[in-house]
Amino acid sequence: MKLTLNQYIKKRNGVSMGSPGSLRNNLNRSLGAKNFSTFWNYWNPIFGYYLGKFIFKPLKITFPVSVSLVLTFIFCGLIHDAVTTLVRGNISFFFTTWFLLMSLAVLFTRILKHDFSPRSWMVRALINLGIIGTCLILTVYIIE
């Protein structure tokens, strides 16, 4: 069954798009996700809907899921870099590198079958933020 954007957001956030509490639910579900892969299922559902529909699903026709995931993250990073390039006036591949590293973290944590659901919400949030932060620090190191 193909979901509309509104159905997708309600599935991810538990409330309809634009509802009061939508942002709160989004942050609660994504940060408190049981693993880093699930974090991305909840994070930014509008962007996720379009990336899934127009990038990930078509890529899956040709490539394995893992390659499609990495390419989708790279595409997302390129979009972020294009916006910052327009604003700053100089080209940077900061977000592309960061998103590449986060896609590899998703794959790595899937291989390890991480499941932190028995842990408290705070511990899960710190783990997910820690992975994001580690990828950010590595990106800064790589880019400089």
pLDDT tens, position by position, 73-119: 999 999 999 999 999 999 999 999 999 999 999 999 999 999 999 99
pLDDT at 55: 97
Please indicate, yes or no, if residue 28 is contained in any of the structural domains: no
Q: What percent of the chain has pLDDT over 90?
A: 85
CA–CA separation, 141 and 144 (whole Å): 6
CA 140 to chain centre: 19
Structural domain including 126 reads 46-143
pLDDT at 22: 87
Please indicate, yes or no, if residue 79 is contained in any of the structural domains: yes
Q: Which two tokens stand for residue 11?
A: 């599935």
CA–CA separation, 101 and 108 (whole Å): 10
What pTM was estimated for this model as a whole? 0.93
As for how many domains the chain has, the answer is 1
Please indicate, yes or no, if residue 36 is contained in any of the structural domains: no
Please indicate, yes or no, if residue 75 is contained in any of the structural domains: yes
| Closest to 49 (Cα-Cα) out of 100, 101, 13 | 13
Across 26-45, average pLDDT: 95
Please indicate, yes or no, if residue 60 is contained in any of the structural domains: yes
